């Protein structure tokens, strides 16, 4: 096994260990938070945070841009350019944090006071939470250059340990809420802000101490600045469309319904985030190598890694989505004592849509590696923007709130189809190979494992149904992935990696 593959495997394991702990903590935290805050306050926190999160598209865009340019420079062994890139993004993120505060205190505040459906007796608390959320988001923006640098250098062990610390600290704060005599919603918002500030300082200290590029300096390299501004501009546009699609529909639901439906959306989003983070962790380990291999013009490794990442991302998510989809009502009832209306149907639709997102993201990373993202961003953003007017129309016509997520899922599939087509031009993706080596085995695995699992769905209920469907889904999916989901070389690599890990454990 090559050193690059070994490093990816090691980073993946580290991120998985991190995610298992953070997922368990996160899911338990949501349950306790829902109990302590109640459905109404939980819904208020989600919708108020959603208004601020609409502006976070700036943060998400620059996070991708920062990591892309630093990874690309490291792939070319150009330390000077990597250092200059780091300094540029420090300035950019300071400017973006300031812009966020201005936008949120003007446009966002007008929207908060004019359109949000907040119970009158909780309006003051919601306003205070909104103000705190603005500064929490600003702090998270300032953290991005350090976070992106850590990922670009593939220091996943530190990233994993810090994430675990952050999750455990948030769990502790939720328990502290039971002893608070003041307004629990406001106190919780303050504590989240404090945690963000601490995590920012830890990121900064670690980067300054361990990476030679992580030291700010003034310089004038107009060509690099122009490239970064052009790439980041299109990335901002794409992230804005995604924010409107994700958080905009949450605001629409609040306008047409009430905060209890927002609570259901918050629950579904938490489930999706918990499950999808398995894929995110996996892709974090692969992302730097995809960009670096393209920068180094190692195209054989680039395409092989792209196909492997796409397949593995789907498999890792599907193995959770299948049993969760079937048992969503029972699992949510176990997890939450008070399951909001629409939470089950929202969860199922979001989980299905996330499967196509898992397939799309590696292709997006590959296209981002080229630096030319104008065309793909323009089309995919138009598709994402379409979610708002279509959802608005359906809600105005009296459709149930679940239809906004059905529209979202359909548009995500349309965006994935366009992405595959465009990749054939942008990165010269061999489409026939992509379908034969990725889409075809995925389709066969879904059909066979899905049919086997659904068969048992009709004969059992409760705990027995959950145990049997999970066992069937996991065993059938894993078996099929090994038999028809992996090619000969991937099977050899997998066996070699397992053998190496077992040997190391024996030596210890």
Interval 301-336: pLDDT, tens: 888 888 888 888 888 888 888 888 888 888 888 877
d(CA 17, CA 402): 34
Rounded to the nearest angstrom, the gap between the alpha carbon of residue 259 and the centroid of all alpha carbons in its chain is: 24
d(CA 142, CA 140): 5
Q: Does the structure show a pLDDT above 80 at 31? A: no
In this predicted model, what pLDDT tens digit does every residue of 222-272 receive, in sequence order? 787 788 878 877 877 777 777 777 777 777 887 888 777 877 888 888 788
For the chain, give percent helix, strand, coil, nearest 5. 85, 0, 15
Q: Does the structure show a pLDDT above 70 at 500? A: no
User: Of 1-10, 74-83, 386-395, where does mean pLDDT reach its minimum?
Assistant: 1-10
In this structure, the answer to whether residues 115 and 197 fall within a common structural domain is: yes
In this structure, the answer to whether residues 122 and 152 fall within a common structural domain is: yes
Report phi then psi at 234, rounded to 5: -70, -35
d(CA 63, CA 144): 6
Q: Does the structure show a pLDDT above 70 at 21? A: no
**CB of 106 closer than 8 Å to CB of 25:** no
Query: How many contiguous H segments (helices) and E segments (strands) does the chain have?
Result: 20, 0
d(CA 349, CA 347): 6
Burial label, 35 (beta-carbon count in 10 A; 0-12, 13-18, 19+): middle
Q: What is the mean pLDDT of the chain?
A: 79
% residues pLDDT > 90 (the chain): 3
d(CA 349, CA 359): 17
C-alpha dist (Å) from residue 280 to 166, 286, 355: 17, 10, 12
Q: Does the structure show a pLDDT above 60 at 7? A: no
In this structure, the answer to whether residues 493 and 345 fall within a common structural domain is: no
In this predicted model, what pLDDT tens digit does every residue of 50-107 receive, in sequence order? 556 555 666 667 777 888 888 888 888 888 888 888 888 888 888 888 888 888 888 8
In this structure, the answer to whether residues 243 and 332 fall within a common structural domain is: yes
Taking residues 168-173, what's their average pLDDT? 74
In this structure, the answer to whether residues 161 and 297 fall within a common structural domain is: yes
- Which helix (H) or strand (E) element contains residue 126? helix 123-152
**CB of 392 closer than 8 Å to CB of 402:** no
Rounded to the nearest angstrom, the gap between the alpha carbon of residue 442 and the centroid of all alpha carbons in its chain is: 22
Q: In the listed set 429, 446, 472, which residue is the last one of a domain according to the structure?
A: 429
**CB of 100 closer than 8 Å to CB of 141:** yes
Q: Count up the domains in the chain and report the number.
A: 2
In this structure, the answer to whether residues 422 and 277 fall within a common structural domain is: yes
Taking residues 28-43, what's their average pLDDT? 62
In this structure, the answer to whether residues 413 and 435 fall within a common structural domain is: no
In this structure, the answer to whether residues 386 and 436 fall within a common structural domain is: no
In this structure, the answer to whether residues 368 and 485 fall within a common structural domain is: no
Q: Does the structure show a pLDDT above 60 at 9? A: no
Q: Does the structure show a pLDDT above 70 at 2? A: no
C-alpha dist (Å) from residue 508 to 9, 114, 485, 495: 19, 64, 33, 20
pLDDT of residue 201: 92
Q: Of the candidates 64, 5, 380, 15, which has an alpha carbon nearest to the alpha carbon of residue 162?
A: 15
Q: In the listed set 429, 460, 486, which residue is the last one of a domain according to the structure?
A: 429
pTM: 0.70
In this structure, the answer to whether residues 417 and 318 fall within a common structural domain is: yes
Non-local (6+) Cβ contacts of 255 within 8 A are 115, 116, 117
Range of the domain at 294: 3-429
Q: In the listed set 388, 403, 429, which residue is the last one of a domain according to the structure?
A: 429
499: how many CB neighbours lie within 10 A of its CB?
A: 11
In this structure, the answer to whether residues 362 and 383 fall within a common structural domain is: yes
pLDDT of residue 1: 47
In this structure, the answer to whether residues 444 and 421 fall within a common structural domain is: no
C-alpha dist (Å) from residue 32 to 171, 340, 386, 407: 9, 15, 36, 32
233: how many CB neighbours lie within 10 A of its CB?
A: 15
Q: How many residues does the chain have?
A: 508
Assign 455 a pLDDT band (cuts: 50, 70, 90).
Answer: confident
Q: Does the structure show a pLDDT above 50 at 504? A: yes
pLDDT of residue 163: 73
């Amino acid at each position: 096994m090559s050193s690059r593959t070994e490093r990816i495997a090691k980073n993946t394991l580290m991120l998985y260990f991190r995610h298992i702990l953070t997922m368990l903590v996160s899911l338990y935290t949501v349950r306790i938070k829902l109990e302590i805050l109640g459905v109404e306050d939980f819904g208020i926190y989600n919708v108020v945070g959603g208004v601020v999160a609409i502006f976070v598209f700036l943060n998400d865009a620059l996070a991708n841009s920062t990591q892309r340019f630093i990874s690309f420079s490291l792939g070319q062994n150009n330390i000077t350019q990597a250092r200059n890139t780091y300094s540029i993004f420090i300035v950019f993120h300071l400017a973006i944090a300031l812009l966020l505060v201005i936008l949120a205190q003007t446009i966002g505040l007008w929207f908060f006071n004019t359109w949000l459906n907040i119970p009158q007796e909780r309006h003051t608390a919601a306003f205070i939470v909104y103000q705190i959320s603005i500064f929490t988001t600003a702090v998270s923006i300032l953290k991005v250059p350090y976070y992106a640098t850590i990922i670009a250098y593939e220091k996943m062990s530190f990233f994993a340990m810090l994430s675990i610390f952050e999750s455990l600290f948030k769990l502790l704060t939720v328990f502290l809420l039971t002893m608070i005599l003041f307004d629990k919603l406001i106190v919780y918002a303050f504590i989240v802000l404090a945690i963000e500030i601490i995590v920012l300082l830890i990121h900064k200290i670690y980067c300054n101490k361990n990476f030679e590029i992580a030291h700010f300096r003034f310089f004038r390299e107009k060509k690099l600045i122009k490239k970064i501004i052009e790439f980041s501009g299109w990335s901002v546009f794409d992230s804005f469309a995604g924010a409107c699609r994700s958080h905009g529909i949450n605001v629409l639901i609040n306008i047409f319904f009430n905060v209890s439906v927002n609570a259901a959306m918050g629950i579904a989003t938490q489930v999706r985030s918990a499950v999808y983070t398995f894929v995110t962790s996996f892709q974090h380990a692969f992302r730097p190598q995809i960009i670096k291999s393209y920068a180094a013009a190692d195209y054989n490794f680039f395409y092989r890694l792209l196909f492997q990442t796409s397949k593995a991302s789907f498999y890792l998510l599907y193995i959770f989505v299948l049993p969760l989809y079937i048992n969503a009502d029972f699992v949510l009832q176990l997890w939450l004592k008070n399951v909001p209306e629409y939470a089950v149907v929202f969860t199922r639709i979001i989980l299905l849509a996330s499967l196509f997102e898992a397939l799309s993201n590696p292709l997006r990373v590959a296209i981002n590696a080229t630096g030319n993202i104008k065309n793909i961003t323009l089309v995919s953003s138009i598709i994402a923007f379409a979610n708002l007017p279509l959802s608005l129309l359906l809600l105005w016509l009296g459709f149930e709130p679940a239809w906004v997520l059905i529209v979202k899922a359909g548009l995500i599939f349309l965006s994935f189809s366009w992405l595959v087509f465009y990749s054939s031009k942008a990165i010269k993706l061999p489409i026939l190979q992509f379908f034969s080596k990725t889409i075809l085995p995925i389709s066969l695995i879904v059909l066979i494992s899905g049919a086997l699992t659904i068969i048992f769905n009709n004969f059992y209920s409760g705990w027995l149904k959950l145990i049997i469907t999970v066992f069937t889904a996991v065993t059938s999916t894993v078996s099929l992935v090994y038999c028809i989901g992996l090619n000969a070389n991937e099977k050899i690599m997998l066996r070699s990696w397992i053998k190496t890990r077992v040997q190391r454990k024996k030596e210890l």
